[in-house]
Structure 1
Amino acid sequence: MSRAQQLHELLVEGSELNIVCHNNPDPDCLASALALGRIAANAGIDEQHILYSGDISHQQNRAFVNLLDIDLKPFDPTALQDRAADALLAFVDHSVPGANNNVPEGTSVDIVIDHHPAEDIGAQFVDHREEVGAAATILTEYVRTLDIDPDAVLATALLFAIRRDTLNFLRGATREEYDAAGYLHDHADHDLLRQLSTPSVTGATLDAISTAIDNRTTKAAVLISHVGRTTERDAVPQAADYLATLEGVETTIVFGIVHDTVHLSARSPDPRIHVGDVLRETFKDVGSAGGHHDVAGGEIPLGLFADYTTDDEQLLDIVEQVITARLLAGLDLADDSEE
Structure 2
Amino acid sequence: MSQSQQLHELLGEGSEINIVCHNNPDPDCLASALALGRIAAAAGIDEQQILYSGDISHQQNRAFVNLLDIDLEPFEPATLQNRQPDSLLAFVDHSIPGQNNAVPPETDVDIVIDHHPAEDIDARFVDHRAELGAAATILTEYVRTLDIDLDADLATALLFAIRSDTLDFLRGATATDYDAAGYLHESADQEMIRQLSTPSISGGTLDAISTAIDNRIINGAVLISHVGRTTERDALPQAVDYLVRLEGVQTAIVFGLVDDTIQISARSPDARVNVGNVLNETFDDVGSGGGHHDVAGGEIPLGIFADYTSDDTQLLEMVEQIITARLFAELNLSEETGE
The bucket for the TM-score relative to the shorter chain is over 0.9
SS at match of 2:303: helix
**1:117 to partner: Cα distance:** 1.1
In the alignment, does 2:172 pair up with 1:172? yes
Deviations 1:40-83, CA, capped at 9 Å, x for gaps: 01111111110011100000000000000000011111121121
Q: Which residue of 2 aligns with 1:215?
A: 215
Secondary structure of 1:253's aligned partner? strand
Partner of 2:300: 300
For residue 31 of structure 1, what is the aligned residue in structure 2? 31
Stretch deviating more after TM superposition (298-307 or 87-96): 298-307
For 2:74 and 2:114, locate their aligned partners in 1 and report how far apart those are by CA, in whole Å: 21
1:145-294 equivalences in 2 (<5 Å): 145-294=145-294
What is the Cα deviation at residue 239 of structure 1? 0.3
**8 Å Cα contact 1:96/1:121 also seen in 2:** yes
1:304 counterpart letter in structure 2: I
Partner of 1:150, secondary structure, is coil
Corresponding position of 2:81 = 81
Corresponding residue for residue 325 of structure 1: 325
For the residue of structure 1 that corresponds to 2:18, the secondary structure is strand
Which residue does the alignment assign to 1:114? 114
Identity of matched residues, %: 78
TM-score (norm 2): 0.99
Q: State the alpha-carbon separation in 2 of the partners of residues 326 and 116 from structure 1.
A: 24
Deviations 1:271-306 (A, max 9, x none): 100000000000000001001100000000011313
State the match for 1:129 in structure 2.
129
State how far apart, in whole Å, the 2-side matches of 1:23 and 1:209 are: 22
Residues 1:42 and 2:47 are matched in the alignment? no
State the Cα RMSD in Å: 0.7
Runs of 5+ in structure 2 lacking a partner? none
Give the TM-score taking structure 1 as reference length: 0.99
Cα shift at 1:309: 2.2
Q: Tell me the CA shift for residue 307 of structure 1.
A: 4.5
Aligned positions, number = 339
Q: Distance in 1 between matches of 2:319 and 2:57?
A: 23
What are the superposed Cα offsets for residues 153-172 of structure 1, whole Å, 9 maximum, x if unpaired? 00000000000001100111
Indicate conservation of the 8 Å contact 1:308/1:318, yes or no.
no
Residue type of the alignment partner of 2:48: Q
- Give, in whole Å, the separation in 2 of the partners of 1:246 and 1:20: 37
Q: Which runs of 5+ in 1 are unaligned?
A: none
Paired residue secondary structure (2:297)? strand
Contact 1:229 1:258 in 2 (8 A): yes
CA distance in 2, matches of 1:180, 1:216: 39
* d(CA) in 2 for partners of 1:49, 1:317: 42
Which amino acid counterpart does residue 267 of structure 2 have in structure 1?
Answer: R
Q: How does 1:10-29 map to 2 (within 5 A)?
A: 10-29=10-29
SS at match of 2:101: coil
- Counterpart Cα distance in 1 of 2:13 and 2:303: 44
Quote the Cα distance in structure 2 between the aligned partners of 1:134 and 1:182: 14
1:108-145 CA distance string (max 9 Å, x none): 10000001111111110000111001000000011111
Deviation at 1:149, TM superposition (A): 2.6
Q: CA deviation at 1:308?
A: 3.7
Residue 9 of structure 1: SS of its match in structure 2?
Answer: helix
